[in-house]
Amino acid sequence: MGYPLRAKSFFAALVFCLLLAACSATNNSTLATLDSTNGTTSTAPIGGVQNVKVFVEPDAGDAVIVDAISSAKKSVFLEMYLLTDTKIINALEDAAHRGVTVRVMLETHPYGSGTISPTETLDKLKAAGVQAKSASPDFSLTHEKGMIIDATTAYIMTSNFTLSALGVSKTTHNREYGIIDANSQDVQTVTDIFNADWNRSSIQQIANPNLVVSPLNSRAAFLSLINGAQKSLAIEAEEMQDSEVEQALVNAAKRGIQVQTILPAPRSGSSDTNSEGIATIRQGGVQVREDPRLYMHAKIIIIDGQKAFVGSENISTASLNRNRELGIVVSDAAVLTTLRQTFQQDWSDSHSV
């Protein structure tokens, strides 16, 4: 005997809902973006960009940056937290002298700026013909480390332009990464961000799902990448100071994901500012080590060995919610091989907490 029409409709609706839920459950790697026209959110997949290159510090040194600036034919746009490497400052001045349009935005109230004040650096650059100004006051800090050469290549980095970041300090060497990206969509988006900050205007949304930008979409991106992991998460970070991201890492570990995190070892005589976050994630099953060899200033998340975030964002509430930050998700096979191999070397060099 057949079911009544109403029962058939009910079962059809039930099957549809179950299928829809299943699709939602498998589409873990999506990024919520704000539609500024109506205030709603939409999702776009974070597939990761290909055909990019990576450099790794301290091995690459500052030549990779100096050479890029020296090769510029038309323009150099730089949005940076710390700029103290004199070779890079000289390269920017030389570029301006040969007729290249050079624009530099620099955070004027950074932590740990060293002996050279950002204001002095800006004045020096202006005297050489560089268009230079302080970073936008719209953010708590401009912590971005981004550069655009000739409107064709974007450098999206974890590293400041300092001696310790770029492998030329006599005392401290950082672990850092930089992505060199000539994909036109990415370059255009990074340029749009730079121009908005330069002109003191605002950007309400990022249409490019591969770019991770604070304070617009970085929190959503981090949570999406972590929640979408199927096998493993390998993280190098300077900070572990955001409860929501920490809980996402704990949840990943509890569902059987291998979660490995490398943080900086506390400097001599100083307390570990990550201690509370470390305690939280360790209790939740996350493996945590600290690197005593290199200062862990890197900010990367490798997901299932298949894609990775690289950028300026720290795992901190201020970084995700209030700063200007710039990162990117990559899926380039050669880049991922380098990231995985470097992480494994750092993991071997680090000690358990």
Equal CATH topology for 52-198 and 211-352: yes
d(CA 56, CA 352): 24
Assigned superfamily of 211-352:
Endonuclease Chain A (3.30.870.10)
Nearest to 221 by CA among 43, 36, 35, 54: 43
Question: What is d(CA 32, CA 224) in angstroms, rounded to the nearest whole number?
Answer: 8
Q: Which residue has the higher pLDDT, 141 or 111?
A: 141
Other C-beta atoms closer than 10 Å to the C-beta of 296 total: 24
Residue boundaries of the structural domains of the chain = 52-198, 211-352
Instruction: Assign domain 52-198 one CATH number from 3.90.1150.10, 3.40.50.150, 3.30.870.10, 3.40.1260.10.
Output: 3.30.870.10
Judge contact between 234 and 343, C-beta under 8 A: yes
Residue 282: partners with Cβ closer than 8 Å, 6 or more residues away: 288, 353
Cα-based torsion angle of the residue sequence 214, 307, 53, 193 in order, rounded to the nearest 10 degrees: -20
| CB crowding 110-140: b at 16 or more within 10 Å, else e | beebeebebeebbebbeebbbebbebbeebe
Angle of the 275-283 helix axis to the 243-254 helix axis, nearest 10: 20
Phi, psi of 43 (to 5 degrees): -120, 145
- CA dist 109 and 297 (Å) reads 19
Reduce the DSSP state of residue 64 to 3 states and report it.
helix
The SS3 call for residue 259 is strand
In the predicted model, what is the mean pLDDT of residues 199-207?
Answer: 93
Whether 93 has a pLDDT exceeding 60, the answer reads yes
- Mean pLDDT over 182-197 rounds to 98
How much is the pTM?
0.88
- CA-based nearest residue to 133, from 75, 200, 192: 200
pLDDT tens for residues 98-137? 999 999 999 999 986 566 799 999 999 999 999 999 999 9
Quick: pLDDT tens for 10-67.
444 433 433 433 333 333 455 544 333 233 333 455 889 999 999 999 999 999 999 9
Burial class of residue 320 (count of CB atoms within 10 Å of its CB; 0-12, 13-18, 19+): buried
- Write the pLDDT tens digit of every residue in 54-92: 999 999 999 999 999 999 999 999 999 999 999 999 999
C-alpha 350/C-alpha 31 separation (Å) is: 32
